[in-house]
Amino acid sequence: MIRFRLEKRLNFAEGGRKLDIEIQLEKGQFVTLYGKSGAGKTSILRMLAGLLRPDAGHIQVEGRQWYAHNKNIFLSPQKRQLGFLFQDYALFPNMSVRENLLFALPKGQPDAIIAELIELMELRELQNRRPNRLSGGQQQRVALARALVQKPPLLLLDEPLSALDQEMRLKLQEYLLEIHRKYGLTTILVSHEPNEILRLSDTVYVIEQGRLLNTCSPQALFPDSVTQSLSCTGTILSLFEEEGRVKVKLSIQGQTVSHRVEKEKARNWSVGQDVQVELDFSTLRVKKSS
């Protein structure tokens, strides 16, 4: 069980604002903090991690007091048992993938967990590379593995997938779900991506201007997300005029498709541009993947 109440005066460009929030979650939950940027989501994670000191309140994680304003308790980040995934991955550039993981291992502990995580996150081929020679998705996989080396009960994710492309996001989401189940974690995600929230979390806390506005299931928050059509983003690869219409070649999640549209519609389009693609399910065929 994790319980916290946090009060903090935050300074934004538009002026000061007070964050005052109380949340209680069960062990093993995967929850999302959802809200506009500037609502205070990241500040909540930073206060949970001990990187930011609240003005008042308390944090209790599985019976242990991490912070209590009235008792003057404030555990440093070093003393809190948690994993934290940063938006910019925060891998140590001077260390290889393996060294990054080894650095996280407390002295004198067996390194079996390193091999296990390298296997689980499919990092075997990458383990001797430096972070600057990895793609964004690979870096975030390493960061995730590193955050789990100490087997923390609590995992905090600060928009960890926002810098990745769609395909990578989907893959990382799978990894996140897998490790969440495998290690029995309690996970708190900061996100404003409906698809991500629907796929990963079981409860959403809607935060607005530093206040908890609503607690609900992801399905209740995004009812429109279950529809008869599928929309995704594609990139225009080429445009050809053909029999009075325009033939557009699109790249959608690594696949190339072509489609004809009216000349008028494609007037402002250019190669390399991203376009919104909508498919309706009237002719959808679903079969078991091999």
Partner 1 sequence: MMDWQPLSLTFRLAFVTTILLFIIAIPLAYWLAYAKNRVKPVIETLISMPLVLPPTVLGFYLLLAFSPNNAFGQWLDASLGLRLVFSFEGLVIGSLLYSLPFMVHPIQSGFANLSPSLKEAAYILGKSRWTTLTKVLLPNIRPSLLTGIVLSFAHTIGEFGVVLMIGGNIPGQTKVASITIYDEVESLNYAAANTYSLILFVITFCILLLVYLVNGGHVKSYWK
Query: Quick one: which segment of 33-41, 112-120, 145-153, 197-205 binds partner 1 (CB under 8 A)?
Result: 145-153
Segment near partner 1 (CB under 8 A); pick from 99-107, 162-170, 207-215, 238-246: 99-107
Among 24, 28, 65, 92, binds partner 1 (CB under 8 A): 92
Q: By rule CB under 8 A, what string of x and - marks binding of each residue 216-245 to partner 1?
A: ------------------------------
Q: Structure tokens of 195? A: 């698809």
Which of 49, 177, 198, 237 is in the footprint of partner 1 by CB under 8 A? 49
> Among residues 10 and 90, whose Cβ is nearest to partner 1?
90
According to CB under 8 A, which one of 77, 256, 261, 280 is a site residue for partner 1?
Answer: 77
Indicate whether 11 belongs to the interface with partner 1 (CB under 8 A).
no
- Give me the sign of the Cα torsion angle 17, 22, 28, 34: negative
**How far apart (Å, rounded) are the C-alpha atoms in residues 240 and 124?**
44
Residue 29 beta carbon to partner 1: minimum distance, rounded to whole angstroms: 21
Give the phi and the psi of residue 125 in degrees, each rounded to 5: -70, -20
Give the Cα separation of 23 and 58 in Å (integer).
Answer: 11
Total residues at the site for partner 1 (CB under 8 A)? 25
Considering only 61, 84, 186, 210, the residue that binds partner 1 (CB under 8 A) is: 84
Nearest residue (CB) to partner 1, 132 versus 255: 132
User: Which residues are at the interface with partner 1 (CB under 8 A)?
Assistant: 49-51, 76-80, 82-84, 86-88, 90, 92-94, 103-104, 106, 130, 146, 149-150
